[in-house]
Amino acid sequence: MDNLPKCGANYVPLTPLTFLTRASKCYANRTSIIYGGVRFTWTQTYERCCRLASSLRSLNIVKNDVVSVLAPNVPAMYEMHFAVPMAGAVLNTINTRLDAKNIAVILKHSEAKVFFVDYEYLEIAKKALELLMMFDFGKSKTSDMPIMPLVVVIVDIYSRTGIRLGELEYEQLVHQGNPSYIPEEITDEWDPITLNYTSGTTSDPKGVVYSHRGAFLSTLSLILGWEMGTEPVYLWSLPMFHCNGWTFTWGIAARGGTNICIRNTTAQEMYTNIVSHNVTHMCCAPIVFNILLEAKPHEYRTITTRVQILTGGAPPPVPLLEKIERLGFHVVHAYGLTEATGPALVCEWQEKWNKLPSENQAKLKARQGVGILTLADVDVKIFKNMHSVPRDGKSIGEVCLRGSSIMKGYFKNEKANSEVFKNGWFFTGDVGVIHQDGYLEIKDRRKDVIISGGENISSIEVENVIMRHKNVLEASVVVMPHPRWGESPCAFVILTKNSSQVKEVDIIAHCRSNLPGFMVPKKVKFVEELPKTGTGKVQKHHLRAVAKTFVVLEKSNETSKKTSQVNKEKPRYYEQTREKILALSRL
Amino acid sequence: MDNLPKCGANYVPLTPLTFLTRASKCYANRTSIIYGGVRFTWTQTYERCCRLASSLRSLNIVKNDVVSVLAPNVPAMYEMHFAVPMAGAVLNTINTRLDAKNIAVILKHSEAKVFFVDYEYLEIAKKALELLMMFDFGKSKTSDMPIMPLVVVIVDIYSRTGIRLGELEYEQLVHQGNPSYIPEEITDEWDPITLNYTSGTTSDPKGVVYSHRGAFLSTLSLILGWEMGTEPVYLWSLPMFHCNGWTFTWGIAARGGTNICIRNTTAQEMYTNIVSHNVTHMCCAPIVFNILLEAKPHEYRTITTRVQILTGGAPPPVPLLEKIERLGFHVVHAYGLTEATGPALVCEWQEKWNKLPSENQAKLKARQGVGILTLADVDVKIFKNMHSVPRDGKSIGEVCLRGSSIMKGYFKNEKANSEVFKNGWFFTGDVGVIHQDGYLEIKDRRKDVIISGGENISSIEVENVIMRHKNVLEASVVVMPHPRWGESPCAFVILTKNSSQVKEVDIIAHCRSNLPGFMVPKKVKFVEELPKTGTGKVQKHHLRAVAKTFVVLEKSNETSKKTSQVNKEKPRYYEQTREKILALSRL
């Protein structure tokens, strides 16, 4: 019975490309894409992808070649998620918020053969290409000319401006292509489909490779985890360059839905499209909540049917969650990372929770939840011995994942691969706890955990408490070296407008009423803004560098006040002393 | 990039067993099973399965051994869907409606090592084992003693009666097993997980083998196709022995739902459980609709929240559909076959159809729909040249499938395998059409198609028309050899009570007003009941045998009346003549 052979009928390699073929047959005349005044059906989208794929082949793109793209959420960007692998190639979407240098590093590392650039990004792309040329020349004068990617311009398909003579253009490639092109057959589902760079650091670029199998399975799991029904109307508020739109590039084809493409995630564009097209689903970083909430009256539109939002990153605070839900959105919280093909855990809502007070609901909603179905296992392991932590909601450990959603690996980076793949697990670098009901809650990035007197402190937990202070707009907590405790928390805080009366002692007193003593920040620094990455994440390494300078100051304070005497005193007393010192040493 | 290796973290073989492990962790305290007064949580179900699996190992069950079971939808039957593969073995569920001989044939063909028998089926199992013993002796006196399976009795876990001394008993195996047993690791997702026999014909038993991969993928696809959300409360009205409960044995674990097990699909058991436990989903053959509709007042209960029903087989007629929906059920129609791991196409409902009149809705609902997501492709091919039919809702061809839902193959039956697997496709033996919107509609079993004067007649289409006659309860149409047309349709009809006034000419007249002439049955035979299989399918081969005898009669009639003269007349006239003859020759 185990010798029954695989054949073409019963063993078809898993690939999300089948979602498009299927959509073109089963949902032939349904609308696939709406972008301004442009509309396509699934038949048309399939045909356009065939055309583009055949044009790529005629540009000598072959199996496993990398095709890069720098573009916002326009139809071309969507189509390339199918067309590029249909030509056998690997799609590399580049974060549009990167600078020229980072783009150049990615183009070089990925060895991109073709580089599609939306007309809005031509300037930065040009600079990146100049840098790319210089990289290669700089290294070795004897080397060959650098192999520069062929550049294709994407002109806006709705308001067609900016075509220049002599340049290859996206629509031209689509137009010239063969509509009856037979897509490159995927014979091995382990073959690469996309390449996504996690960050633009020049020293160690990490190109995450997804397989056709992984992409297929993650797509199905996310539809299931979010309970997305058929015929969704999906607003592209999440950039497609984030883990291929958290797999929903492929997922909307699987569900026979409609993609609402938008060039900018402004309040106006989002509200107008939500209301005009009866959007049912959207994904976004929590920062988009603020954009929606801060819409000016002329930008705002009343939402009449509920819009499902899938969000990741730090759990939105309760008041924010309540505000956004009052507008007609329903938020589901997820946890993921590029290496896990986007969201890997989704906070599945339980019927019985509907009866709880909204404060409790928000707490439950802020948890990261349960692993999606293509994760074979999720575990939280104790750093020291790699045993699983008890499921008590308290014991902290590193979040480990295994299953079909996990990337093939980092491209040309064996060192990084050996660091994250250990003992049959992928180590996320995040720390968390598992609650008694099996739901996981992320506490921090492993490198952001503060170990104070042998106790683990989650910087996120401290941030959440500070954020609950009514005058606080934003907070970020990082490690600060400490002569006695090794490390201690240091908070950077943005106050709301007109809160100048709030002092450091107030924030510390607030923390003291809501946290165990060892978790209270030893230092609170008020700032005007926090350093952030292009994707809106706080760059804690910058803050850590600043926090280090505080310590030197404190050390000198300590010495001058001979606080080294307190070494044998009880922590509680010691903390009080320390705070007095801090109050004096306010920066 | 294509050389990045598979490792334990990123390549975990697909198996539905992970659904249970995951449920035991993520949905630990949620109710997994309710059966009468018995309740388990997902932690308990996992532990019980570990125990049973370890007991099977201690009974010397090893990798790929077959474990058979003859039981209704009791908790043991559910648990075995996990426990048996957790021991590395292959589960073979046997249709409880089969006779002793068919059971014996299956036990022999499958080479079952252990045979679990529910206490209600001990008598028939005993007979089957006696026959099994005889088979082997009968064949060769010199052969060794037949290897008889070890029998384990399943006593009812709720009302524990009937334990006999000296017999192995299910609960005893669970009790004695090791709760910390580590399940057999699935290293190859292509390994077999279950073995399901399509029919009990002695000549050519067809044991359909599913792989872990196929079971995993089909399960996900069906949850998606039916849009089953999290925490379903699933009533086991469909026997688990049908394609492993159309994969919902595994699917309810994947969704963290609750299984409502029932021993008998009586109206009372179904209504009581639906209302007591707020059932959300159930699957069934259309015959169950009649059971629900014909409930006596004391059996009936008012349903307050809508119950989703997934049904297969012949599309239920409009009035039946309307009646069942009025009771609080919502019917989704699917098409499947054992070889495709149960339902392979689901009639996905489209929003815009809600605006249509109910008659039109029912017609759309009766179509089989679109292939589930793990089918890479569905096609309808013209018999002669294997080209795809045009998508016009008219052109008939054979339904062909390919993808991960298709079985590994028939166990020890190379001939049958070579018949169904051709050119990378699985040939279903069903004929259908594809509508312009991409939805497939099954017209008939290929062998039931009637080819009359070169025209294909779908027996189902004729049946549907006859069924619309207000005095008709049931109808079945088969081929009848015909001297002029080669073949022609013959109808067997059950009339509703008190319809003795209805004559054959009335039915024929009704058909004539609703069908093209060539499709009108040349003979209508009123019967008291139709021969059916254990699963409620009409055994058309019996009817065909009867229909053959009609022809002989007609031939002699023809001869006596010299109707051979009419050979050159126009069909229309010929048919009228034929009907007069038929009216005279009523049987």
Cα A587 to Cα A570: distance, rounded to the nearest angstrom: 27
Query: Using the 8-state DSSP alphabet, how is residue A388 labeled?
Result: B
In this predicted model, what pLDDT tens digit does every residue of B35-51 receive, in sequence order? 999 999 999 999 999 99
Residue A95 confidence (pLDDT) above 60: yes
Looking at the complex, does the CB of residue B404 fall below 8 Å from at least one CB of chain A?
yes
pLDDT band at B578 (very low <50, low <70, confident <90, very high): very low
| CB-CB under 8 Å, A371 with B190 | no
Q: Out of A47-56, A71-80, B359-368, B472-481, which region has the weakest mean confidence (pLDDT)? A: B359-368
Nearest CA in chain B to A414: B4
pLDDT band at A577 (very low <50, low <70, confident <90, very high): very low
Helical residues (DSSP H) of A516-561, grouped into ranges: 540-561
Per-residue pLDDT, A204: 64
Per-residue pLDDT, A551: 60
Looking at the complex, does the CB of residue A329 fall below 8 Å from at least one CB of chain B?
no
Nearest CA in chain B to A417: B4
In this predicted model, what pLDDT tens digit does every residue of B415-434 receive, in sequence order? 999 999 999 999 998 889 99
Model confidence, pTM = 0.85
Give me the residues of B, 550-569, that contact A with CB < 8 A.
none
| CB-CB under 8 Å, B28 with A2 | no
Give me the residues of B, 63-82, that contact A with CB < 8 A.
64
CA distance A28 to chain B (A): 6
Residue B582 confidence (pLDDT) above 60: no
Per-residue pLDDT, B461: 83
Nearest CA in chain A to B440: A26
Looking at the complex, does the CB of residue A25 fall below 8 Å from at least one CB of chain B?
yes
In this predicted model, what pLDDT tens digit does every residue of A238-255 receive, in sequence order? 999 999 999 999 999 999
Interface test with A, best of B26, B41, B353 (most A CBs within 10 A): B26
* A576 vs A3: which has the higher pLDDT: A3
pLDDT band at A338 (very low <50, low <70, confident <90, very high): very high
| CB-CB under 8 Å, B231 with A350 | yes
CA distance A67 to chain B (A): 13
Which residues, including other chains, have CB under 8 Å from residue A166's CB and lie 6 or more apart?
A: none
CA distance A25 to chain B (A): 5
| CB-CB under 8 Å, B349 with A9 | no
Of A26, A350, A423, the CB nearest to B370: A26
CA B137 from centre of chain? 34
CA angle A343, A346, A348 (to 5 degrees): 165
Looking at the complex, does the CB of residue B27 fall below 8 Å from at least one CB of chain A?
yes
Mean predicted confidence (pLDDT) in A364-385: 88
**Burial, A40: exposed, middle or buried (Cβ in 10 Å; 0-12, 13-18, 19+)?**
buried
Looking at the complex, does the CB of residue A353 fall below 8 Å from at least one CB of chain B?
no
CB atoms within 10 A of CB A148: 14
| CB-CB under 8 Å, B223 with A223 | no
| CB-CB under 8 Å, A402 with B10 | yes
pLDDT band at B553 (very low <50, low <70, confident <90, very high): very low
Of A10, A19, A426, the CB nearest to B426: A10
Of B12, B195, B229, the CB nearest to A404: B12
% chain A with pLDDT above 70: 89
B488 membership: H or E segment, kind and range: strand B486-495
Nearest CA in chain B to A374: B14
Per-residue pLDDT, B533: 74
Give me the residues of B, 116-155, that contact A with CB < 8 A.
none
| CB-CB under 8 Å, A404 with B8 | no
| Lookup: tokens for B134 | 């005889």
Residue B519 confidence (pLDDT) above 70: yes
Mean predicted confidence (pLDDT) in B78-89: 98
| CB-CB under 8 Å, A256 with B1 | no
Looking at the complex, does the CB of residue A223 fall below 8 Å from at least one CB of chain B?
yes
Residue A578 confidence (pLDDT) above 90: no
**From the CA atom positions of chain A, what is the Rg in Å?**
26
Cα B308 to Cα B292: distance, rounded to the nearest angstrom: 14
Mean predicted confidence (pLDDT) in A258-264: 97
In this predicted model, what pLDDT tens digit does every residue of A63-94 receive, in sequence order? 999 999 999 999 999 999 999 999 999 999 99
Give the closest residue to A69 by CA, choosing from A175, A235, A177, A195. A195
pLDDT band at A213 (very low <50, low <70, confident <90, very high): very high
Mean predicted confidence (pLDDT) in B373-402: 90
Give me the residues of B, 406-425, that contact A with CB < 8 A.
406-409, 411, 417, 421, 423-425
Q: Out of A111-120, B283-292, B502-511, which region has the weakest mean confidence (pLDDT)? A: B283-292
Per-residue pLDDT, B581: 32
Nearest CA in chain B to A228: B227
Per-residue pLDDT, A534: 65
Looking at the complex, does the CB of residue B349 fall below 8 Å from at least one CB of chain A?
yes
A522 and A480 Cβ atoms separated by less than 8 Å: yes
pLDDT band at B550 (very low <50, low <70, confident <90, very high): confident
Residue B575 confidence (pLDDT) above 50: no
Looking at the complex, does the CB of residue B5 fall below 8 Å from at least one CB of chain A?
yes
Of A11, A29, A411, the CB nearest to B437: A29
Give the closest residue to B236 by CA, choosing from B113, B76, B409. B76
Which residues, including other chains, have CB under 8 Å from residue B180's CB and lie 6 or more apart?
A: B50
Most confident of A78-92, A335-349, A519-533, B354-368: A78-92
Per-residue pLDDT, B174: 97
Category of A185 on φ-ψ map: left (φ > 0), alpha (ψ -120 to 50) or beta: beta
* A76 vs B482: which has the higher pLDDT: A76
Per-residue pLDDT, A37: 94
Per-residue pLDDT, A576: 34
| CB-CB under 8 Å, A220 with B224 | yes
Cα B373 to Cα B387: distance, rounded to the nearest angstrom: 23
Residue B577 confidence (pLDDT) above 50: no
C-alpha distances in angstroms, B522 versus A238, B220, B478, B492, B551?
63, 46, 11, 11, 10
In this predicted model, what pLDDT tens digit does every residue of A305-334 receive, in sequence order? 999 999 987 667 777 888 899 999 999 989
Give me the residues of A, 224-263, that contact B with CB < 8 A.
224, 227, 229-231, 254, 256
Residue A96 confidence (pLDDT) above 80: yes
Which residues, including other chains, have CB under 8 Å from residue B252's CB and lie 6 or more apart?
A: B32, B232, B234, B258, B259
| Lookup: tokens for B437 | 């919107």
In this predicted model, what pLDDT tens digit does every residue of A445-498 receive, in sequence order? 777 888 887 777 888 889 988 988 989 988 999 999 887 777 889 999 999 888
Looking at the complex, does the CB of residue A529 fall below 8 Å from at least one CB of chain B?
no
ipTM of this predicted structure = 0.85
Cα B405 to Cα B244: distance, rounded to the nearest angstrom: 13
- Residues of A in Cβ contact (< 8 Å) with B228: none
In this predicted model, what pLDDT tens digit does every residue of B165-203 receive, in sequence order? 567 999 999 999 999 999 999 999 999 999 999 864 445
* Dihedral angle over CA of B359, B363, B366, B371, nearest 10: -140
CA distance A19 to chain B (A): 7
Interface test with A, best of B4, B111, B399 (most A CBs within 10 A): B4
| Mean pLDDT estimate for chain B | 87
In this predicted model, what pLDDT tens digit does every residue of B85-132 receive, in sequence order? 999 999 999 999 888 988 998 999 999 999 999 999 999 999 999 999
Nearest CA in chain A to B219: A373
| CB-CB under 8 Å, A227 with B11 | no
Looking at the complex, does the CB of residue B577 fall below 8 Å from at least one CB of chain A?
no
Residue B226 confidence (pLDDT) above 60: yes
Mean predicted confidence (pLDDT) in B539-549: 88
- Residues of A in Cβ contact (< 8 Å) with B224: 220, 223-224
Nearest CA in chain B to A223: B224
pLDDT band at B551 (very low <50, low <70, confident <90, very high): low
- Residues of A in Cβ contact (< 8 Å) with B439: 26
Matching residue, tokens 């994760």: A375
Q: Out of A5-14, A150-159, B130-139, B518-527, which region has the weakest mean confidence (pLDDT)? A: B130-139
- Residues of A in Cβ contact (< 8 Å) with B11: 190, 404
CA distance B311 to chain A (A): 19
Mean predicted confidence (pLDDT) in A121-145: 76
| CB-CB under 8 Å, A230 with B227 | yes
Per-residue pLDDT, B91: 98
CB pairs under 8 A between A and B: 184
Per-residue pLDDT, A573: 29
